[in-house]
Structure 1
Amino acid sequence: MDWAERKADDPWATERLSAVERADAADCRSPFEHDRDRIIHSVTFRRLQGKTQIFAPGEAEFLRTRVTHSIEVAQIGRALAKMTELPGSLVEAACLAHDLGHPPFGHAGETVLDELMHLYGGFEGNAQTFRLLTRLEEKSKAYAGLNLTRATLLSVLKYPYRRSAGAGKFLYEEDADRCEAWLFRGSAHQLLDAAHRDRPPPRTIACQLMDWADDVAYSVHDMEDGLQSGFLLPSMPLERIADWVWYRLQLTAVPDNLTRERVVAILGELKGRLDQPDATIREVTGYYIDRFVSSIRIVPTQRPEGPFDYTLAVPEDIRQECAVFKALTLEFIILDERTTTLAYKGREILSRLFRVLLENADPSAGKQRFELFPRAMRPQLEQQAAGEAGYARTICDYLAGMTDGQALRLYRRLFESTGSSLFEPVQGHC
């Protein structure tokens, strides 16, 4: 089957995890449009407005949060889908959902939760996204999660690994066991239990488009925020910037055939465009987004039969530019002492909250057991049969679902004398 023929009425692509739900004949939306709308109207999506992108929410009105980033990724994803004749609502849904699992305080929060959950199955933002979509986000009492279509869930599955693969990115074991057979039914693929460096993991073409849309938005828009906020200054000496960017690339991952001279050339072109007297920052970043989006092409395997049998091809020079812009943002914004000190604070907040809540879930807490949790959570905790690991996962879900502000309010209430008001809810638990 040609990949462009996988339309919104394909039974394999549009099957939902729970068969309880029946389509409304009066509703003219496609299954993928349903998925997109369910994501937009979810509590989890709304909470992204209070979660860090690279700057904390509220630092300035013009800086991006997770929700504005997700909306921009979706716009880029829809443009990519239109170019490749894939259903735009499918790619858009995946883009809107791709960051739902991010905890408070950005990647610093993700790192500390993974450390705290090391003995209990780990934490990973993409795995948390899948868990939210298939289990935690409540839409109906008839089924768990949002009950999205197979195609949409596969489009979000950026890292189809079990934790045992050691890839650093994975699905939680309980979610993998519950969903793997259904997800890959009718295909020759499955979750990987080992990382293979010589071949890419099985990802649908819609998933690859979502991933590239995220890369484009992250590399260009976060750089734009750095310029608008003054963290990145075009007046800085080019050679000095290139030295730091090249250093950072060597510590992370250097794209194929990228040299320091090429880094200087990429940054020199960027600086030249920004220095033009009649150019605005938005015009410059718009140029790069158009360039990154229009450069792609789709390459099929010899005998393409389904959405796994196509590869998104991005020219080498475009991937190099994207990587340099990411390294620029990482070095001069994310690793700036003004942001790293706040990231440290976020890690300490989540670490202390996790430990005190886990202590309160232990039987040794006696009559005070579960009293630090919202009342709506207590029956779930009382019925928990998985012991400490089960309590840890429930606490991790609770903390990961908070906004930055909710986590800070709970911390202040528990540990500071000038805590939040007694009448101010920590989190509306849904």
Structure 2
Amino acid sequence: MNWEQLLSLKRAGDTHKRFRKDQDETRLGFEVDFDRIVFSSPFRSLQDKTQVIPLSDTDFVHTRLTHSMEVSVVGRSLGRVVGKQLLKRHPHLTDLGYTFNDFGSIVAAAALSHDIGNPPFGHSGEQSIGEYFNSGKGLRFKSDLSAKEWQDLIDFEGNANGFKILTQDGLGVQDGLRLSYATLGAFMKYPKESLPKKATNHVVDKKFGCFQSEKQKFVDVAENLGLKKMRSGQDISYFRHPLAYLVEAADDICYTIIDFEDGINLGLVDEEFALEYMIKLVQHKIDIKKYHSLGLKKDRVSYLRALAISTLIDEAATIFIENETAILEGSFDKSLLDRCKYEAQINDIINISIDKIYNSKSVLEKEVAGYKVLADLLEVFINAVNNTYLGKASNYDKLTFMLLPQEFKHASDSLYDRILGVCAYVSGMSDSYAILVHKKISGVIVS
């Protein structure tokens, strides 16, 4: 893979080539990507989607929106640090007009949208949709779908749904948000379809990033960027765009450190016990005098969080630069933080978070409720869409069908497209809206 091709400014529907040196310096093409994401309705819905603590009553716990913004900020820093080094190695990119800020802008935009396809109710949202098809009432559709279509549903994936959102019509312009191919490439952490599943131990095979409904758009982006094919044959599978490693690292850094911070501030993790693990990560940077001068717990935690993020940004950037050749060849098969010298400390923090935060009673109770809400919504709206299409809708089907936004009232002859459309509608709901709609379909009168 080569950087000139990987930094493509092309957008869906372009009939001419875009050059970096011809860009308006006051609003560069990659910065336009960021702006378009911010003003999109799917991004706004993240303000009421769970990051870790569902439906929290406090004002300092992170939602998907605040998490995405923080990942974007970390991603911008990572991109700029790496970009400076890459321009020294590849000076012809400077001659073409690229600056280190371009790398930062690409990673920032991709990171901003990295959770845009995730369903409501936190980490269990994807699993609850998958289980509706794999072991719930949706199992009845299996025999009518291809193997890959079925796999898309039973392993419903937020990354693939995110690509669908970013490239679908109906978001104000044709061809979706028309993001640059460079930004879409950096967004594609798992540039493959759902089958074959986990064929290798390479990080690319961990999940998938493309539903069957978007595979042609997906291939168009990958081929234009010159992504290297992972396997021969007809299956869609590519090695990552290199900047996707930085998007992943920014997300890993934020959820590791900031989810932990939320747990401490909520009292789910004991402060003294938790700070011991944070200090191990930043002991070479910490100013002990300053730390002990901070009187409030949240200030002490905030100070350590800032140091930890700075430490991990430096480490991730160093690992990327040291392994640039392997990344471009596709042979770098782990995430950046899986190769870092702080792996043990990171794993300690993650294990505590799993035990004390992700498996806390309040989180589990609301995730269980989320399973019921999402399964019921899928059942009602899939019935409404299918029965309307088949001309055998009951009065209840007709009424619930009318609740659907126009873009989800699919008249497609494809059962797969109709079902996936409902999945996209339900996964696009915020936590509160999903609960509200569930009350309505359950017969609870809402004023």
Q: Sort the TM-score into its range (normalised by shorter chain).
A: 0.7 to 0.9
**Closer, same or farther: CA 266–384 of 1 in aligned 2, 3 Å:** same
Aligned length: 380
Q: Distance in 1 between matches of 2:37 and 2:16?
A: 17
Q: TM-score, normalised by structure 1?
A: 0.78
RMSD: 3.4
1:334-387 deviations in Å (ceiling 9; x for gaps): 101121011100111001111122222233434554421346645853522113
Contact 2:410–2:418 under 8 Å retained in 1: no
Contact 1:81–1:88 under 8 Å retained in 2: yes
1:218 aligns to 2:221 (yes or no) = no
1:372 aligns to 2:400 (yes or no) = yes
**Closer, same or farther: CA 149–341 of 1 in aligned 2, 3 Å:** same
Amino acid in structure 1 at the alignment position of 2:293: D
Contact 2:213–2:417 under 8 Å retained in 1: no
1:294 aligns to 2:314 (yes or no) = yes
After superposition, residues 108-257 of structure 1 pair within 5 angstroms as: 108-118=124-134, 119=142, 120=150, 121-122=152-153, 123-135=156-168, 138-140=171-173, 143-167=174-198, 169-170=207-208, 171-185=210-224, 187=226, 189-190=228-229, 202-235=239-272
**Closer, same or farther: CA 161–193 of 1 in aligned 2, 3 Å:** farther
Q: Distance in 2 between matches of 1:20 and 1:368?
A: 47
Partner residue in 2 for 1:385: 413
Q: Distance in 1 between matches of 2:397 and 2:181?
A: 40
Select 2:362's aligned residue among 331, 338, 344.
Answer: 338
Partner residue in 2 for 1:329: 353
Select 2:121's aligned residue among 105, 112, 119.
Answer: 105
Q: Distance in 2 between matches of 1:179 and 1:287?
A: 38
Partner residue in 2 for 1:352: 376
Partner residue in 2 for 1:65: 63
**Closer, same or farther: CA 43–365 of 1 in aligned 2, 3 Å:** same
Bigger share in helix: 2
Q: Secondary structure at the match of 2:322?
A: strand
Contact 2:263–2:353 under 8 Å retained in 1: yes
Q: Secondary structure at the match of 1:55?
A: coil
Q: Distance in 1 between matches of 2:267 and 2:421?
A: 40
1:19 aligns to 2:17 (yes or no) = no
Question: How far is the alpha carbon of 1:144 from its aligned partner?
Answer: 2.1
Question: How far is the alpha carbon of 1:66 from its aligned partner?
Answer: 0.6
Q: Secondary structure at the match of 1:165?
A: coil
Deviates more, 1:317-326 or 1:70-79: 317-326
Question: How far is the alpha carbon of 1:19 from its aligned partner?
Answer: 1.7
Contact 1:161–1:193 under 8 Å retained in 2: no
Contact 1:231–1:332 under 8 Å retained in 2: yes
1:318 aligns to 2:356 (yes or no) = no
Partner residue in 2 for 1:420: 446
Q: TM-score, normalised by structure 2?
A: 0.75
Q: Secondary structure at the match of 2:117?
A: coil
Partner residue in 1 for 2:31: 33
**Closer, same or farther: CA 232–401 of 1 in aligned 2, 3 Å:** same
**Closer, same or farther: CA 235–393 of 1 in aligned 2, 3 Å:** same
Q: Secondary structure at the match of 1:164?
A: coil
**Closer, same or farther: CA 384–149 of 1 in aligned 2, 3 Å:** same
Contact 2:72–2:108 under 8 Å retained in 1: yes
**Closer, same or farther: CA 11–19 of 1 in aligned 2, 3 Å:** farther
Q: Distance in 2 between matches of 1:376 and 1:349?
A: 17
Partner residue in 2 for 1:251: none
Contact 1:156–1:207 under 8 Å retained in 2: yes
Q: Distance in 2 between matches of 1:34 and 1:215?
A: 25
Q: Distance in 2 between matches of 1:379 and 1:333?
A: 37
Amino acid in structure 1 at the alignment position of 2:367: A
Where does the alignment leave 5 or more consecutive residues of structure 1 unmatched?
195-199, 242-264, 422-430
**Closer, same or farther: CA 137–327 of 1 in aligned 2, 3 Å:** farther
Where does the alignment leave 5 or more consecutive residues of structure 2 unmatched?
84-99, 135-141, 143-149, 199-205, 295-299
**Closer, same or farther: CA 102–303 of 1 in aligned 2, 3 Å:** closer
Q: Distance in 1 between matches of 2:342 and 2:193?
A: 31
Q: Distance in 1 between matches of 2:301 and 2:227?
A: 47
Amino acid in structure 2 at the alignment position of 1:15: K
Q: Distance in 2 between matches of 1:151 and 1:213?
A: 17
**Closer, same or farther: CA 345–192 of 1 in aligned 2, 3 Å:** farther
**Closer, same or farther: CA 153–335 of 1 in aligned 2, 3 Å:** same
Contact 1:38–1:146 under 8 Å retained in 2: yes
1:405 aligns to 2:432 (yes or no) = yes
**Closer, same or farther: CA 193–321 of 1 in aligned 2, 3 Å:** farther
